[in-house]
Amino acid sequence: MSDVKVHEEAHGISTAIEDRAHVLAGYGETTKREGAKTKEVHNADLFAAIEETKIERWSKESLHLYFCIFVSFCCACANGYDGSLMGSILAMDHYQDVFNTGMDGPKVSVVTSLYTVGSIVATPFSAVLSDKLGRRKCMFVGAWIIIIGSIIIASGLTLAQFVVGRFILGVGIQVMVVSAPAYAVEIAPPHWRGRAVGFYNCGWFGGSIPAAAITYGTNFIGNNYQWRIPFICQCFACVIVIISVWFIPESPRWLMTQGRNEEAIAFLVKYHGNGDPNARLVLLEVEEMKEGIRIDGIDKRWWDYRPFITTHSGRWRFAQVIMISVFGQWSGNGLGYFNATIFKTIGYTSSSMQLLLNLVNSIVSAVGALIAVNLTDKMPRRPVLVFGTLACAVTLAINAGILQEVANSGHISKTKGQAALAFYYLFNVVFSFTYTPLQGVIPAEALETTTRAKGLALSGFMVSSISFISQFATPIGLKNISTNYFWIFVGWDVLESVFWYFFCVESQGRTLEELEWVYQQPNPVKASQNLDKIVVQRDGTVTEKIEDDA
């Protein structure tokens, strides 16, 4: 940029090109102009930049950006596919003939939970790969590991080979899900960020629905391909990732951590600035990214996780990651791994019917998630988590109350079984609306660029650990105390709502770098709800940020 300051006259205010990233502070002088109005926003600079830099939604660059986010979506598909797959596989007679695990009890616990053990083991090196290789190449490596695991499972005829394949699958998933959400959040324009990462996490249903449909169809095959084909199909999303990563750009924030500033700025100009290097949004993002990326090399020291606990900001950031990682897996949604067992408990004993109901469950849950994705950049995060989690507790409590007859006698009437099924579906819709988009958004937003890979790896570790407990304990719990097991999650969901109310930091409407100021405040929860008061002229230009003592 030239060293000569170029001044423009706009609404009576002289501004320098170098200062265009920021809104001038004042005391309301420009409110006197005809058509001017005041507005409260989370970030005056970001609001002004977005209003001035109108990104063309259907330009060639935006379409390419959508494709980039779709690639990360495919990574989530691979994860979601397995989430629906095992619950359906357990209901298949040819699978049971070969492996004889039953539908509940210790053997089922081992088969399902080894997947999460693989993810736990992969935690340390997945972060290293993401920071060293970049987000794209890490997705590429994870996809290949998943394919290897799927081949081992699909070709197996012993339980030992099956569980080894499950373990390898878990390793591959962990490698992918560290880089994919980081990539989505780092390439998206600030005002598209919630939808971009929310769409990524909806990839869970992009995998679970095909898995449910495929297993329903292959259930009618009269040989071992009944269960082999679903595992072979698990490779499909990974093949898309392996081919596509070579046609998408690297994350600009990762490029900047590597000192490749020109490439990072070129990305922002092309995809966020309509090709204009002086676009206000580009200037703001470049400035904040340079300020936000540490120069102490924390992302180069693979062993150093101190930033999560040694500073006030780091502890609050990590608290958000802990809450969404734990609560997102321990709110009753883990029951979905054992849908076939639950459907059998409420009176649907046919394996074909169980698989069909599982497919319907995936579809209705996806509807809840997709509605939430469309609203993610408009809805504040904190109220959604507080009241959505409370709604999960209510719907699951009603479900558990209806199923009390099963817990007491082991039998249930047809009418009550249908009512229980309806509320079980409703619980999953509410959970998907509340958590599915935000499970990707909250940790990606809470973490800084230089700690994002490590933080997401730790998030994956916690998700896998809680999933392991859930997948190991649920079959045993359902066998020993039947549907009374649901009440554990009812009480826990109420407790989660309290935690969200007191400790959730609102991140909607702010840049990733601006959140550092929020987390540095003595009370980040309160600071995150502060609003800037701005003056907007009739033509949409933001001319002033009104000072508090105006």
pLDDT, one tens digit per residue, over 159-204 is 999 999 999 999 999 999 889 998 998 999 988 988 998 899 899 8
pLDDT higher for 84 or 350? 350
Residues 44-68 as b/e (b if ≥16 CB within 10 A, e otherwise) read bbbbbbbbebebeeeeebbeebeeb
Highest mean pLDDT among 40-54, 216-230, 338-352, 409-423: 216-230
Could you report how far apart the first and last alpha carbons of the chain are, in Å?
35
Tokens of 103: 């539908």
Tokens of 286: 């470049």
Of 388, 356, 403, 354, the C-alpha closest to 497 is 388
Amino acid 372: pLDDT: 94
Amino acid 2: pLDDT: 36
Highest mean pLDDT among 84-88, 167-171, 302-306: 167-171
296 contact partners, CB below 8 Å, separation of at least 6: none
Measured CA to CA in angstroms, residue 298 lies from 131, 177, 306, 442, 448 at distances of 10, 21, 9, 22, 11
In which residue are the tokens 């007191």 written? Answer: 502
Tokens of 198: 């929310």
Q: Are 433 and 372 a contacting pair, CB within 8 Å?
A: yes
- Say how far residue 276 (Cα) sits from the centre of its chain: 31
Where do runs of H (alpha helix) occur along 122-251?
123-133, 135-154, 159-187, 193-201, 203-218, 225-233, 236-244
Please tell me the distance from the alpha carbon of residue 82 to that of residue 170, in angstroms, as a whole number: 10
The CATH architecture one would assign to domain 60-296+307-503 is Up-down Bundle (1.20)
- Say how far residue 416 (Cα) sits from the centre of its chain: 35
Amino acid 339: pLDDT: 86
Q: Which helix (H) or strand (E) holds 532?
A: strand 532-536
| Largest Cα span, the chain | 84
Angle at 180 between CA 311 and CA 257, to 5 degrees: 50
Tokens of 463: 């998700």
Q: Which helix (H) or strand (E) holds 270?
A: helix 261-272
Q: Are 153 and 502 a contacting pair, CB within 8 Å?
A: no
Q: Which helix (H) or strand (E) holds 314?
A: helix 312-327
9 DSSP β-pair partners: 14
Give the confidence band of 5 by pLDDT, cuts at 50, 70, 90: very low
Measured CA to CA in angstroms, residue 2 lies from 9, 467, 515 at distances of 19, 55, 30
Please tell me the distance from the alpha carbon of residue 356 to that of residue 360, in angstroms, as a whole number: 6
Collapsed DSSP state (helix, strand, coil) of residue 305: coil
Q: Which helix (H) or strand (E) holds 107?
A: helix 106-121
Please tell me the distance from the alpha carbon of residue 283 to that of residue 273, in angstroms, as a whole number: 9
Angle at 462 between CA 456 and CA 466, to 5 degrees: 145
Measured CA to CA in angstroms, residue 295 lies from 252, 263, 291 at distances of 16, 18, 10
Q: What is the mean pLDDT of residues 503-523?
A: 89
Of 236, 190, 198, the C-alpha closest to 81 is 236
Amino acid 67: pLDDT: 97
Amino acid 270: pLDDT: 96
In which residue are the tokens 């609404």 written? Answer: 11
Asked if residue 242 has pLDDT above 50, the reply is yes
> Residues spanned by CATH 1.20.1250.20 within the chain?
60-296+307-503
Q: Are 337 and 183 a contacting pair, CB within 8 Å?
A: no
Q: What is the mean pLDDT of residues 204-222?
A: 91
Amino acid 391: pLDDT: 98
Q: For residue range 322-377, what is the model confidence (pLDDT) as tens digits?
A: 999 999 999 999 898 788 888 988 888 888 898 899 889 989 999 999 999 999 88
pLDDT, the chain, mean: 87
- Say how far residue 394 (Cα) sits from the centre of its chain: 24
Residues 367-390 as b/e (b if ≥16 CB within 10 A, e otherwise) read ebbbebbeebbeeebbebbbebbb
Highest mean pLDDT among 38-42, 196-200, 270-274: 270-274
Angle at 140 between CA 330 and CA 120, to 5 degrees: 30
Q: For residue range 461-483, what is the model confidence (pLDDT) as tens digits?
A: 898 889 888 878 888 888 888 88
CB atoms within 10 A of CB 521: 16
Please tell me the distance from the alpha carbon of residue 119 to that of residue 266, in angstroms, as a whole number: 35
Tokens of 182: 């980081």
Assign residue 221 a region (left: φ > 0; alpha: ψ between -120 and 50; beta: otherwise): beta
Please tell me the distance from the alpha carbon of residue 508 to that of residue 534, in angstroms, as a whole number: 18
Tokens of 174: 């962990």
Q: Which helix (H) or strand (E) holds 82?
A: helix 60-89
Of 92, 93, 84, the C-alpha closest to 112 is 84
pLDDT higher for 445 or 502? 502
- Looking at this protein, which amino acid is placed at residue 131? D
CB atoms within 10 A of CB 531: 12
